[in-house]
Structure 1
Amino acid sequence: MIGLGRRISIGLAAGTFAMAGALHAADKPEVAAPKPAAAQPANGEDGDVGSAADVVTRHSGTFHGRAIKYSATAGRLPIMGPDGSVDAQMFFVAYTQDGAAPGTRPITFLVNGGPGAATAWLHLGGIGPRKVRLNPDGSVPAPPVRLTDNPDSILDRTDLVFIDAPGTGFSRLSGDAAKGRLLEKRGDLDAFASFVQTYLRKNGRFGSPLYLYGESYGSFRMAGLSDVLIRRGVPINGVVLLSSALDFATLQPTNINDLPYQLTLPSYASIAAFHNRLTPPRTDIDALRREAEEWTTNVYGPALAKGNKLLGAERQRIVDGLVRFTGLSPSVIETENLRIDVPQFMKYLQADRGLVTGRTDGRLVGPPPASAVEEPFYDPAMGDLTPAFTAAASQYLFGELRYDISLPYRMYSRDVATRFRFGRGDADAVVADSDRQTLTALQSTIVKNRNLKVLAIQGLYDLATPYMSVKYTLDHMPLPPDYAANVELLVVPAGHMAYDDARALREMNDATVRFIDASALGTR
């Protein structure tokens, strides 16, 4: 029996793998101050931007086989408005290796996306020293949520600073005026740039190799932030983009933009094969996705470009190809006019089994909830992940890190998500295409810094940001060949939160370690 929201896998093979090796037991943290100072805001709502003392705890762990002692600092930094008052307090947790020379050890700033999501996803998903314990298949165990040591953390190579965007986590905005300034693409980037500069100055880290790491909309942020920091005179060694969204034109179709339908197709094929929905069955997923990439580039894309002039036998060949690569019926494909969007694929792929296919991880499925009318975009891959990570964040920050603040931790802020604008002006104003992409900013950063490297990591089974969308975007970044060689794309067998999959977590973090070693220029 499948419970509502329960994540299950049905397919040719297990899509997730148990993490190899024993997890290391956690050391009891040593609190630096005998009694950490507590913030006492009024009511936990925005407007509560009073200062709170940082809280430092001491820990040790083993990462990639290397034992280190490190400090965890939880605190908030103010973001000042144009009149000198506080626009926002941005919460962070920083992990720094004890005894390391701060001027030479790399430092990485990390952020999630949404907009409206807190950074506990990256923090406790697989990048930080502690992580949420999941079942071997990536599903969530029964409550209560447990945390475990993370031997695959990249803390052995770089200090880590996890930042919550204004209005998320423990970060707060001062009021409507501040929201108008910061809940907007450029104001958002300016706030993060100010945070990074303030942190570097307060902690004497301007000499450290510097990295930016963003997930989902966080990748959009970090690509844009790289250019803002370069313009402010802050050099950057590398940018890591996880589950990227660099240009919304690759994700949001319109009447004259068929690109998203094409770029999602190889992910559809991989997911359909995983669930044994293709005829004949396909077991070599890598070979299948290469075929799908070639077909969508050379056949499907040119056919869709003909619009309503695609007729007769030529149209039928496209229907047949879509049946072959998606596992959907010809009637569904014709009804959707050869253009299958993600919600339709989720709905129809396993409708005969009474199941909805996951969006953030297409390997995971579940029955539709009875509240489908109120939840038209239900994703069975997220049903129990969000409450698990929310509980884990509170457990970890209030408990293990001893951070004492009278605020709820906002794992997701609907207010931030609905207010956020990509262009300046009213929310209903027309937004220029240039405001819905940060690829231009990333290209600008690369050409200004010959040594800067970019690592993009994508999940094969991710329908939120399909891997071919990122490949297409990076391939169309106008760079000379010697500069383009500094941009690497890694596709791992996982979904949007690639770290949920034990095998993918190890693969992506190992790649990040190599990336840092190669781009820090021997300064570590």
Structure 2
Amino acid sequence: MTAVPKILSGLLLICISVSSTANSLKPEKQSFDIDSSVVTKHKATINGERLNYTVTTGMQPLWDNEGNPTAALHYTYYKKDKVKDVAKRPLLISFNGGPGSASVWMHIAYTGPRVLKIDDEGYPRQPYGLKDNPYSVLDTTDIVFVNPVNTGYSRVLPNQDGKMPSKKSQQEQFFGVNADIKYLASWLNTFINRNGRSLSPKFLIGESYGTTRVAGLAHELQNNQWMYLNGVVLVSPTNIGIKREGPVDVANRLPYYAATAWYHKALHPDLQTKDLLEVLEEVEQYTLDRYLPALAKGAMISEAEKLSVIKKVARYSGLSEKFVAQNNLDIPTSAFWKELLRDQELTLGRLDSRYLGIDKRAAGERPDYWPELTSWLHSFTPAINHYFRQELDYKTDLKYNMFGPVRPWDRTNNNVGEQLRLAMAQNPYLHVMVQSGYYDGATNYFDGKYNLWHLDPSGKMKERLSFKGYRSGHMMYLRHEDLKLSNNDLRDFIKAALPAPNTSAKY
């Protein structure tokens, strides 16, 4: 690995005051170049191919309409060397979610060429660090990981008077569904043109809230930056503005409950001996045909039907009939995470229900903490800090915000699902894929399927929509088997979304 410093034009030095340390009551100042980068060279064997690649990591400013810098966004750009025709080389633009989450998760655990040293199920091990990722999609596409404002090393900048914008001003500019999409689209336009990628096929991938982000970006990029995409990948998607209220919201949880109960061997033996996917097929069918209609009847459901549904929901969820009845057929996720293994005095993870926790009291309605998130922070935090400083030679005293200060977040006028549908309708090249883990209780996989079913009510674009499920949770790629499978699915999606030669974008 060789480090090659590279400072882009228009350098501006910014000093920002930060809170005092434990050893001093005086505020310190941190300075950083808002328009700078460091370049390093690397080698790897990926998908059986030995390749050389270049990593550029640094800051790129965002400007207002008067040309004043308002924020500096940190990014990491992976580019395969010796590509003859960059116009044929795809570019994958990657975002995580939160909102307020850095791009670290997919960066060093999914698609990037370096991944965490963890066990095969995703649990942390010391010594911490990284290893090569032989399944990365870098053999197929270049990748840029972007940190939105206040995540990672990205920061809001002082105004021309040297003062930080007010909290209200910052929210209006950056911290809301539509503000987030608008400024990121502008930033991406600069990045694409600076790096000579205007002709390249382009793909967006977002995880969790990042799916809201990329769904809206597909439309914003097309209609206000005039940049057309080939694909959008929604990893563990939010509702992307598609309503799932009332009985639909309740019913859609049952397949996830069944998957989690199956994993923890909490189902009846006749279900437990079946393969997970066989069980889920049965539960999904029951959810649509019987559970959802029963919930829609509310208090008017007959006693006989209610008793029948109680028995089935208990059978498929691993919960007792009494508990289902006490919840009037509507079991909150927090109650499920506390109740399923209550007899063992263990709780379940929210984002990945394979993970187990220990509460202060076995009693109660919800877990004390999320064991999966503490486990992930355990391994991700030291690894990303080491990676930037030691392997990518990016030196800064800025704190890497795994989760940054972005709240309150303005969630009004969230219409990104319709925006994504319209982007697909306008662009016959545009494909969409959902990737979900069966044990994800925060953005459950059946909701992900529901998104696809209702993204295009006409059904005329369903051939460009696809779903992939995995035997893991929210970050399905942490499980070694699914790291390989999900990257292969992503690689196949990218290749399939590239039009054949001389294929015009038309209906």
TM-score (structure 1 length as normaliser): 0.86
1:51 aligned residue = 34
Kept after mapping to 2: 8 A contact 1:452/1:519: yes
**Counterpart in 2 of 1:93?**
76
| Cα deviation digits, residues 442-493 of structure 1 (max 9, x gap) | 1011100112111111111111111110111111122554521011101111
Q: After superposition, what is the alpha-carbon deviation per residue over 1:64-106, rounded to whole angstroms, capped at 9, x for unaligned?
A: 0111111100011111224432221111000011121333211
Deviations for 1:306-350, whole angstroms, at most 9, x for unmatched residues?
112124111111111111011111222122221012111100000
C-alpha spacing 1:154/1:405, structure 2 compared with 1 (3 Å):
same
Give, in whole Å, the separation in 2 of the partners of 1:34 and 1:186: 33
> Identical aligned pairs, as a percentage?
31
Aligned equivalent of 1:261: 250
Q: What does 1:166-177 correspond to in 2, within 5 Å?
A: 166-174=149-157, 175-176=165-166, 177=169
Partner of 1:441: 419
The answer to whether the Cα contact below 8 Å between 2:7 and 2:37 also exists between their aligned partners in 1 is no
CA contact (8 A) 1:459 1:493 kept: yes
SS of equivalent to 1:382: helix
Q: Aligned runs of 1:25-424 on 2, under 5 Å? A: 29-33=1-5, 41-43=15-17, 50-100=33-83, 101-142=85-126, 144-174=127-157, 175-176=165-166, 177-231=169-223, 232-247=225-240, 257-280=246-269, 281-283=271-273, 284-368=275-359, 378-413=369-404, 415-416=405-406, 418-423=407-412
1:237 and 1:152 map into 2 onto residues whose CA distance is: 22
Which amino acid counterpart does residue 119 of structure 2 have in structure 1?
A: N
> Does the 8 Å contact 1:239/1:455 carry over to 2?
yes
Whether the 8 Å contact between 1:114 and 1:216 is mirrored in structure 2 is yes
- Which residue is equivalent to 2:24? none
Write the letter of the residue equivalent to 1:205.
R
The one-character-per-residue Cα deviations of 1:36-70 (angstroms, maximum 9, x if unpaired) are: 99977434589978524200000111110111111
| Partner residue, 1:10 | none
Q: Structure 1 residues 55 and 264 mapped into 2: Cα distance closer, same or farther (>3 Å)?
A: same
Contact preservation (8 Å) 2:32, 2:396? no
| TM-score (norm. length: structure 2) | 0.89
Structure 1 Cα separation of the partners of residues 485 and 206 of structure 2: 17
Instruction: Report SS of the residue matched to 1:305.
Output: helix
Moved more, 102-111 or 38-47: 38-47
- Partner amino acid for 1:282? Q
Deviation for aligned residue 1:520: 2.1
Unpaired runs of 5+ residues, structure 2, are 20-28, 158-164, 502-507
Letter of the 2:222 counterpart: I
CA distance in 2, matches of 1:310, 1:219: 37
Alpha-carbon offset, residue 511 of structure 1: 1.1
For 1:480 and 1:468, the matched residues in 2 are separated by 20
Which runs of no fewer than 5 residues in structure 1 stay unpaired?
1-28, 424-434
Q: Report the secondary structure of 1:62's partner residue.
A: strand
The structural deviation recorded for 1:522 is 5.3
Query: 2:112–2:133: 8 Å Cα contact kept in structure 1?
Result: yes
Deviation of the 1:155 alpha carbon: 0.3
**Alignment partner of 1:498 is 2:472:** no
1:132 partner amino acid: L
Which residue in the other structure is 1:465 paired with? 443
SS in 1 for 2:77: strand
Partner amino acid, structure 2, of 1:510: N
Q: 2:237 touches 2:434 (CA, 8 Å); kept in 1?
A: yes
Tell me if the contact between 1:62 and 1:151 (Cα under 8 Å) persists in the aligned partners: yes
Aligned with 1:384: secondary structure? helix
Name the aligned partner's letter for residue 447 of structure 1.
A
User: Aligned partners of 2:209, 2:264: CA distance in 1, in Å?
Assistant: 28
- CA–CA distance in structure 2, aligned partners of residues 191 and 66 of structure 1: 37
CA shift, 1:521, in A, is: 2.7
Q: Deviations over 1:382-415 (max 9, x none)?
A: 22211321211111011110112220000012x2
Deviation at 1:126?
Answer: 1.7
| Aligned AA (2:337) | M
Q: Name the stretch that deviates more: 75-84 or 501-510.
A: 75-84
Deviation per residue, 1:14-50 (Å, 9 max, x gap): xxxxxxxxxxxxxxx1112399999774345899785
Q: Is the 8 A contact 1:249 1:260 kept in 2?
A: no
How far is the alpha carbon of 1:422 from its aligned partner? 1.4
Give the Cα–Cα distance (whole angstroms) in 2 for the partners of residues 272 and 441 of structure 1. Answer: 36
How far, CA to CA, are the matches of 2:15 and 2:280 in structure 1? 52
Note closer, same or farther for the CA distance 1:79–1:264 as it changes in structure 2 (3 Å cut). Answer: same
CA–CA distance in 2 between the matches of 1:369 and 1:522? 59
Shift of residue 379, structure 1, vs aligned partner: 1.4
User: Quick one: distance in 2 between partners of 1:499 and 1:40?
Assistant: 37
Q: How many residues align?
A: 476
Task: From the superposition, tell whether residues 224 and 321 of structure 1 become closer, same or farther in structure 2 (CA, over 3 Å).
Answer: same
Q: Distance in 2 between matches of 1:274 and 1:400?
A: 38
- Please give the alpha-carbon distance, in whole angstroms, between the structure 1 residues aligned to 2:68 and 2:363: 44
CA–CA distance in structure 1, aligned partners of residues 250 and 147 of structure 2: 33
2:461 is aligned to 483
